[in-house]
């Protein structure tokens, strides 16, 4: 039994919201993907084709906000920050993730 698409989407949402919360500043998409890859020790890689639709969806939901700015390469980039609604959503996703991990651990221990 594989993961349902909404579970994968929820995992990406969780990772992005955590990165934005921990940054304490606005980040552009490339930096978000770099941090996920770096913190996962190159195990997790988020492709642009997954990240940007997720960012747009999360912005539409009010979890993040964006603003245009200039990157360190002097290029125009969209910067994202978590909102208070996103903070609440992050707490909900963290609780769901913790339940999921505990359930998998019980299966691994007892199977």
Q: Is the pLDDT of residue 108 over 80?
A: yes
What's the pLDDT tens digit per position in 29-78?
999 999 999 999 999 999 999 999 999 999 999 999 999 999 888 999 99
Q: Which domain holds residue 68?
A: 5-110
Tell me the β-bridge partners of 70.
76
Can you give the CATH number for the domain in which 106 is found?
A: 1.10.10.10
The predicted model scores a pTM of 0.86
Residues 108 and 89: their CA atoms lie apart, in Å, by 29
The arithmetic mean of pLDDT across residues 9-17, rounded, is 89
φ, ψ for residue 86, nearest 5 deg: -65, -35
Q: Which of 97, 39, 89, 41 is nearest to 31 (CA)?
A: 39
pLDDT of residue 9: 58
How many domains does the chain divide into?
1
Q: Please report the pLDDT score of residue 8 as a whole number.
A: 53
- Per-residue pLDDT averaged across 67-94, rounded? 95
């Amino acid at each position: 039994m594989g993961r349902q698409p909404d579970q994968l989407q929820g995992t990406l949402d969780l990772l992005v919201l955590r990165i934005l919360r921990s940054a304490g500043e606005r980040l552009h998409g490339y930096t978000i993907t770099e941090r996920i890859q770096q913190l996962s020790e190159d195990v997790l890689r988020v492709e642009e084709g997954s990240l940007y639709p997720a960012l747009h969806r999360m912005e539409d939901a009010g979890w993040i906000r964006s603003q245009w700015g200039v990157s360190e390469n002097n290029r125009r980039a969209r910067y994202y920050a978590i909102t208070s609604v996103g903070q609440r959503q992050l707490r909900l996703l963290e609780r769901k993730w913790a339940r999921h991990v505990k359930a998998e651990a019980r299966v691994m221990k007892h199977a």
